[in-house]
Amino acid sequence: MRPDELVEALKAEARRLGFDAVGVAPAVEPAGYGWYRDWVERGCAAGMEYLVRQGEARRHPTSILDGVRSVVMTAIVYGCPDAAAEDNRTEAVRRGKVAQYARGADYHRVLWDRLERLLGWVRQHVPEVRGRAVVDTAPLLERDYARLAGLGWIGKNTMLIGRQTGSFTVLGALLLDVELTPDEPFSANHCGTCTRCLEACPTDAFDGPYRLDARRCLSYWTIEHRGPIPDAWAERLGGWVFGCDVCQDVCPWNRKAQRGSEPEFEPRPEWTSPDLVAWLEREPDEWARLLRGTALKRAKRAGLVRNAALVLGARGVAAARPVLERLAEDADAGVRAAAEWALRRIAESGSEEKPAPGRGAAG
């Protein structure tokens, strides 16, 4: 099979496996590497020290696979803009918001499994090939290689945007030590003069176009940060308990893009508009069971309960007070601090339950 024939057959196999987009990039230093180093040096990585430690490793994919010559980039669409309006009804006050990518099965495992099968297919045609499947955890600047592979451009919200796929996609890479015919890089940028993503960000996390500061991003605070969340950010979660989709929800390209149809990413009821009081009442063993096989396990039980307590406190949900009082003695410092903060906010809001007329507080 000629190199160009191999690439076309590989793409066909990738689509058969369920990938919505696939392209080939050369294994070179990514154009955005200098920007990445500058971003880290300015402190924009917040507390994500692994991004600092992996700085040099991200210069070239040879740090992941010695002798790598090609990077096959793949994408699967997982969602679409959420047009649901904010709802202030009593029953909705208890509800939280989870980023769409985390509402179904863990995307890491879905992509890894399919990339490994794709690697097996390549080995049938090139037996001596060496390869490695990469999904989000290895030191690879995935969006840069996706652009090099022709999958789309990097938008003003720093997300990869494809003309057909939009930005609600998860990316995976297959590194190979054989040289494949690369695709043309995506050289255009179709954001134009639009700044909706920058203006919609609830915490002003963008210093400007293409400049996201993780120190101000809700996804950082609700997923990556460990321990107590400072008051300034606890006040501004806006119902988000894991991640944030605002800058994607407002992007015009996502309204034109294909919708996610992958069965594995079908939203699970427990992660779609979850009842946050029920989250606080859930026992650790039940958390461990529910988080198994999901991307939410990144924040763990402690992070999710912490976030739920802060949202309920900011909203003054009095029904959460009994369980918050119990969580104020939780083993985790972040949960304790969040519960105490929430109890203060509920008391300050004046929404605490009043005793019935003619009866004392003790009943």
Which residues in 3-26 are b (16+ Cβ under 10 Å) and which e?
eeebbeebbebbeebbbbbbbbbb
Q: Which residues contact 28 (CB under 8 A, 6 or more apart)?
A: 60, 148
Pairing of strands 70-77, 21-26: antiparallel
Give the percent of the chain with pLDDT over 70. Answer: 94
Dihedral sign from CA coordinates of 182, 187, 188, 194: positive
- Residue 293: pLDDT band with limits 50, 70, 90: very high
For 68-106, what is each residue's pLDDT tens digit? 999 999 999 999 998 664 555 556 899 999 999 999 999
Q: What is the pLDDT of residue 84?
A: 60
Q: Say if residue 256 is in the same domain as residue 145.
A: no
Specify whether 155 is located in the same domain as 282.
no
Answer yes or no: do 32 and 166 share one domain: yes
- Clarify whether residues 336 and 290 are in a common domain: yes
The share of the chain scoring above pLDDT 90, in percent, equals 91
Question: Same domain, yes or no, for 14 and 119?
Answer: yes
Report if residue 208 sits inside a domain. yes
Beta carbons within 8 Å of 275's beta carbon, 6+ residues apart: 94, 95
Residue 231 counted as domain residue: yes
Instruction: Determine the structural domain holding residue 67 and report its residue range.
Output: 3-84+105-176
Please indicate, yes or no, whether residues 38 and 73 belong to a single structural domain of this protein: yes
Cα–Cα distance for residue pair 102/265, rounded to 1 Å:
8
326 contacts: CB under 8 Å, gap ≥ 6 = none
CB atoms within 10 A of CB 270: 15
Q: Kindly report the length of the chain.
A: 363
Residues in a beta bridge with 211? 208
Average pLDDT over residues 277-287: 97
Residue 221 sits in the same domain as residue 342 = yes
Is 38 labeled as catalytic in the residue annotation?
no
Residues 118 and 221 occupy one common structural domain: no
| Residues 226 and 118 reside in one and the same domain | no
Given CA atoms 47, 250, 147, 293 in this order, what sign does their dihedral have?
positive
Annotated catalytic residue: which of 82, 113, 136, 275?
Answer: 136
Same-domain status, 221 and 127: no
Average pLDDT over residues 254-270: 95
Report whether pLDDT(357) > 60. no
